[in-house]
Amino acid sequence: MHPPCRLRHSAPRPRRRFCTKGTAVKYRPPRWLPGGHAQTIWPVTLKGKSPPYRRERWETPDGDFVDLDWVDPETVVPPRISVPTVVLFHGLEGSSQSPYARELMLAVHARGWRGVVLHYRGCSGEPNRLPRFYHSADSAEIDWVLRRLAGAHFSPLLAVGISLGGNLILKWLGEQGADAGRVLCAAVAVCAPHDLARVSVHLERGVNRIYTRNFLNTLIPRALAKAERFPELLDAERIRRARNLTEYDEAVTAPVHGFRDAADYYARASAKPLLMAVRVPTLVLNAANDPFVPCELLPEPHEVSTQVCFELQEFGGHVGFVGGKLPGRIDWLPRRLLRWFDEYLPHETQPECG
């Protein structure tokens, strides 16, 4: 069973039997930022330096597009020298300017590595062309992006998924099994909602509804704009009536993407049933005080493969992990992720992970 969600003296010990490598590092929040809600909300307000992004647009096979923001090594890298590439899959309504994305890409750049943030369709600041949106079941898009990167010899390739992006990368890893090792060296999923049906119910309760409302403040206007362009697919009045994520998914995600209803979408999108099939070294990082994903909804020992290292931190909130003096910065998380990747990087004369 999981350790208690409310711990007073020490962080829960990581389940070492799931870790083939790597050492857990305890996150200690600053005294001025107590509690899971504060550790979740405060990081979103942080303003910081933006990485030196270079934008690139990829045309998708179905006639749409996605935008990727790159950070490149400052020095010219000889063709046969392997430079790690970290690809980030952001969270719901995130982007390359999300604080966690900025901090991770700055850390990647400081190392002389290459980094890239994939913007899901419609998340780069420009509406996508097609009726479809992004969603938590769309591991086919993740597969296309990762295989294109691998085919362009961006190796060794390392993946980070944040929240919704964490569920996506875990779903892809489980679906691909051993074949994922031909593409990725290692992966990390941070605060991923592995069980979408139960997480959506949890977000409809009490104070958690403030997070739902924050998401709907951007999701609904975007969906209404789509309804104007594609009225045959979307019911604008039904979209306006959505008061939680389940109602939004009933009105938008399900009808546009071919799901029977929200329950069907959640069942087909959740990564939890696929975790036993993961064959790439993967860190699954969560916080016990995450208001989005309570620890009773996290995977049990018998539900993950031996390639999965489950790490439950006592603190951190939902993708928080702020450190330092006021106002602080998200510095612990990039250090933890890069330390994990260090354990799995191949020798530079053997750049292929498969």
- Residue 8 in any domain: the answer is no
> Both 115 and 208 in a single domain?
no
Tens digit of pLDDT for each residue in 42-56?
Answer: 999 999 899 999 999
295: number of Cβ within 10 Å: 18
Mean pLDDT lowest for which of 74-83, 114-123, 267-276? 74-83
Same domain assignment for residues 215 and 235: yes
Same domain, 93 and 216: no
Question: Could you say which of 212, 238, 269 is where a domain stops?
Answer: 269
Same domain, 292 and 338: yes
Using CA atoms, how far residue 222 sits from 32, 65, 117, 203, 233, in Å, is 36, 17, 21, 21, 14
CB-based contact 174:278 (threshold 8 Å)? yes
Residues 153 and 259 in one domain: no
- Active-site amino acid positions: 163, 290, 318
Q: What are phi and psi of 286, to 5 degrees?
A: -135, 165
Q: What is the pLDDT of residues 276-293, one digit of tens each?
A: 999 999 999 999 999 999
Last residue of a domain, one of 239, 269, 299: 269
Residue 7 lies in a domain: no
The pTM of the full predicted model, rounded to 2 decimals, is 0.91
- The structural domain count of the chain equals 2
CA distances in angstroms from 55 to 69, 82, 91, 147, 334, listed in the order given = 4, 22, 19, 19, 22
CA distance 193 to 176: 20
Query: Stretch 218-243: mean pLDDT, rounded?
Result: 97
Does residue 99 register a pLDDT over 50?
Answer: yes
* Structural domain span for residue 241: 196-269
Domain boundary among 245, 269, 293: 269
Residue type, 221: P
In this structure, the answer to whether residues 146 and 176 fall within a common structural domain is yes
Q: How does pLDDT run across 164-205, given as a tens digit for each residue?
A: 999 999 999 999 999 999 999 999 999 999 999 999 999 999
**Does 2 map to a domain?**
no
- Structure tokens of 37? 């809600």
Which pLDDT does position 326 carry in this prediction? Answer: 95
314 within a domain of the structure (yes/no): yes
